[in-house]
Structure 1
Amino acid sequence: MGFDLEGLTAAVEARGRVTRVVIADIRGSSPREVGAAMLVWKDGQSGTIGGGTLEFEAAIAARKQVQGTVLGSHALGPDLGQCCGGVVTLLSEVYDASRLAALDDEIVLRPVKTGADGATPLAVKRLLANARGQGLRPQPQLVDGWMVEPVHHPEVPLWIWGAGHVGRALVDVLSPLPDFSITWVDTAAERFPSDIPKGVTSVPAVDPALLVPHAPVKAQHLVLTYSHTLDLALCHSLLGHGFAFAGLIGSATKWARFRSRLAALGHSAEQISRITCPIGDPALGKHPQMIAVGVAAQLLRRDMAKEMKKDHSA
């Protein structure tokens, strides 16, 4: 996770002035990781730095903070009675429209510690240079009195085909997760709910299969329309286009029928096997929300395994 500039901008537009509290550093254990943040305003808040007394006390302090930057450490056990036992450094900053306008849209970099001046420290320059050299974004961290946070951009394109009960449950479960950029497709505008979650792009299309070529080849797809004919057309188009993951909702009987029909359309058994059916965890049952929970877990496990493989090969 990085600096949620979009979320902060929306909050400032709605509230006028917002205090952002972020975990800047950790020694020992902590309920959340460095970079986890919450937004606090006069009569509300969003996000979380881990809950418990730490979050409660930080929210109270944030509401009293009128301007500027506050950096402070908190011993979770001795000071706050939390069982994690580590020491957490919190950075609390007040934002309004003028301060937002000064932020970079790729890396938010600023001095936050007393005595840190306007000259970027050599350690920070090295960190940024190494990240660029490796083609990576730096992790959120406190370096020589400067806070370094890459602006968060959802990096996993996810296309959900179908806005029925299961499609809606999937969007409800997956849209709050920070890394998914969701495109939601169905055959008509009236098939979507009136309230589309933030960050989800709904696309009505009379023939959804014609949209497949517009999806990135690295996209993940969940196919669960109201029509087996449309599901088959989407699977056929996806196999011809390419994808990182494609999941189809259905029974073993449906998948056996689809495998036969996709083979007749010219796809090899190896190609067809790239489609996952059924999706989720059948043991959880067929309730839409349970299907959504199973599918979310499946996608997250897949992405975590991919990241671990990348780390081991680095």
Structure 2
Amino acid sequence: MSFDRDALAACIAAHGAAVRVLVAATAGSAPRDPGTAMLVWENGQSGTIGGGALEHEAVLAARDMLEAGRATAQRRLPLGPALRQCCGGAVTLVWERFDEATLPPPGPRARAMGPAGDMPEAVARKRAAMRPGAPPALLDGWLIEAAMPEARPLWVWGAGHVGRAIVSVMAPLPGRAITWIDLAPDCFPDDIPEGVTAIPAANPAALMPRAPAEADHLILTRDHDLDLALCHAALAHGFASCGLIGSATKWARFRSRLSALGHSNALISRIACPIGDTSLGRDPQAIAVGVASALLKGGNEKMTRDRAV
């Protein structure tokens, strides 16, 4: 993961000064990968660097920094000898205190872990060469972090039981920009998860051209005719992946109708139906778990298909 300035800014706006705890490097077995971070403020925290004794010590150190007003700290922790954890490796943590005045600008960043001086040329080159989403680097006493990659778009069509379950599972995951569409405002729950854009639309299919071509789509409405219209619109527009809720029987009928609308069999086959993993059951939460697993495994390229009846 990269430096998530938006999450840090939101934390500061809500809680005041905060310490960001970053897994800057690992050696051997470790609970989380480099780039993983958590935020700690006076009486709360968000995110996790792996839990257990490592996280407990990290939070205590962060609160000490907040109380003392220190700006940065860095420490390498052997997980077995120092913390009696069984991972066996070592983790290098970086603590950084931020407030409104010290919130950095968007984009890649480099920060001296000690007394600030001119940025070394090697550090500047490393920062410039880092691709979005690259893990952090420690070089010549500086912490270097890449810009955040653009969030992958997920468009969820329908706010019924399954739509709500899927959004609740996917919304907390990093790297997703979720757009949620249904017919009217009262179709949505009172509390929309953070980072989710809910759009009421009398004609949802008319919104399909607004979706990015690289978006994943999940079509989950209460109306089969609307589902068909959305499939038709998605095939005409293009997508990274598309899943349709329904049985194998529903999909056979939809394939025939979409073919009659002029779509090729090869194109129609890019839509996955049924979605998720039917072996998990048909409970909305079980469907949501299967769909989330498929999206995480396939990314924006494909959605795992389960054709079991």
Q: What letter matches 2:118 in structure 1? A: A
Q: Residues 156 and 219 of structure 1 are in contact (CA less than 8 Å); yes or no, is this contact kept in structure 2?
A: yes
- TM-score, normalised to structure 2's length? 0.93
In the alignment, does 2:130 pair up with 1:127? no
Gaps of 5+ in 1: 307-314
SS of structure 2 residue aligned to 1:299: helix
User: Which residue in the other structure is 2:39 paired with?
Assistant: 39
Q: Residues 5 and 151 of structure 1 are in contact (CA less than 8 Å); yes or no, is this contact kept in structure 2?
A: no
In the alignment, does 2:85 pair up with 1:82? yes
Deviation of 1:136 after TM superposition, in Å, equals 5.2
Q: What letter matches 2:82 in structure 1? A: D
| Distance in 1 of aligned mates of 2:298 and 2:64 | 43
Moved more, 246-255 or 297-306: 297-306
User: Which residue in the other structure is 1:111 paired with?
Assistant: 112
Count of aligned positions: 299
| Distance in 2 of aligned mates of 1:191 and 1:130 | 46
SS of structure 2 residue aligned to 1:11: helix
User: Which residue in the other structure is 1:312 paired with?
Assistant: none
SS of structure 2 residue aligned to 1:142: strand
Q: Residues 284 and 290 of structure 1 are in contact (CA less than 8 Å); yes or no, is this contact kept in structure 2?
A: yes
Deviation of 1:121 after TM superposition, in Å, equals 2.3
Sequence identity, in percent? Answer: 55
Instruction: Give 1:298's match in structure 2, choosing from 278, 294, 298.
Output: 294
In the alignment, does 2:152 pair up with 1:156? yes
User: Which residue in the other structure is 2:25 paired with?
Assistant: 25
Deviation of 1:96 after TM superposition, in Å, equals 0.9
Q: Residues 241 and 300 of structure 2 are in contact (CA less than 8 Å); yes or no, is this contact kept in structure 1?
A: no
| Distance in 2 of aligned mates of 1:12 and 1:136 | 24
Gaps of 5+ in 2: 303-309
Q: Residues 133 and 149 of structure 2 are in contact (CA less than 8 Å); yes or no, is this contact kept in structure 1?
A: no
User: Which residue in the other structure is 2:72 paired with?
Assistant: 69
User: Which residue in the other structure is 2:255 paired with?
Assistant: 259
Q: Residues 221 and 246 of structure 1 are in contact (CA less than 8 Å); yes or no, is this contact kept in structure 2?
A: yes
Deviation of 1:130 after TM superposition, in Å, equals 3.3
Deviation of 1:271 after TM superposition, in Å, equals 1.1
Moved more, 14-23 or 246-255: 14-23
Q: What letter matches 1:79 in structure 2? A: A
Instruction: Give 2:102's match in structure 1, choosing from 86, 99, 102.
Output: 99
User: Which residue in the other structure is 1:309 paired with?
Assistant: none
SS of structure 1 residue aligned to 2:97: strand
| Distance in 1 of aligned mates of 2:44 and 2:144 | 27
Instruction: Give 1:222's match in structure 2, choosing from 218, 221, 230.
Output: 218
User: Which residue in the other structure is 1:185 paired with?
Assistant: 181
Distance 1:199 1:136, change over 3 A: closer
SS of structure 2 residue aligned to 1:246: strand
User: Which residue in the other structure is 1:238 paired with?
Assistant: 234
Instruction: Give 1:165's match in structure 2, choosing from 161, 164, 177.
Output: 161
Q: Residues 187 and 204 of structure 1 are in contact (CA less than 8 Å); yes or no, is this contact kept in structure 2?
A: yes
User: Which residue in the other structure is 1:268 paired with?
Assistant: 264
Distance 1:182 1:231, change over 3 A: same
Deviations 1:34-53 (A, max 9, x none): 11111111211110011010
Runs of 4+ in 1 over 6 A off after TM superposition: none
Deviation of 1:150 after TM superposition, in Å, equals 2.4
Q: Residues 35 and 141 of structure 1 are in contact (CA less than 8 Å); yes or no, is this contact kept in structure 2?
A: no
User: Which residue in the other structure is 2:136 paired with?
Assistant: 140
- TM-score, normalised to structure 1's length? 0.91
Deviations 1:187-226 (A, max 9, x none): 1011011111111100110000000000011111000001
Deviation of 1:127 after TM superposition, in Å, equals 2.1
| Distance in 1 of aligned mates of 2:223 and 2:173 | 28
Deviation of 1:139 after TM superposition, in Å, equals 2.6
Q: Residues 181 and 199 of structure 2 are in contact (CA less than 8 Å); yes or no, is this contact kept in structure 1?
A: yes
Q: What letter matches 1:208 in structure 2? A: P
Deviation of 1:137 after TM superposition, in Å, equals 5.2
User: Which residue in the other structure is 1:12 paired with?
Assistant: 12
SS of structure 1 residue aligned to 2:83: coil
| Distance in 2 of aligned mates of 1:305 and 1:78 | 43
Deviation of 1:73 after TM superposition, in Å, equals 1.2
Q: Residues 281 and 294 of structure 1 are in contact (CA less than 8 Å); yes or no, is this contact kept in structure 2?
A: yes
Deviation of 1:128 after TM superposition, in Å, equals 3.2
Moved more, 218-227 or 103-112: 103-112
Moved more, 118-127 or 154-163: 118-127
Moved more, 166-175 or 19-28: 19-28
| Distance in 2 of aligned mates of 1:74 and 1:129 | 29
Cα RMSD (Å): 1.6
Moved more, 21-30 or 148-157: 148-157
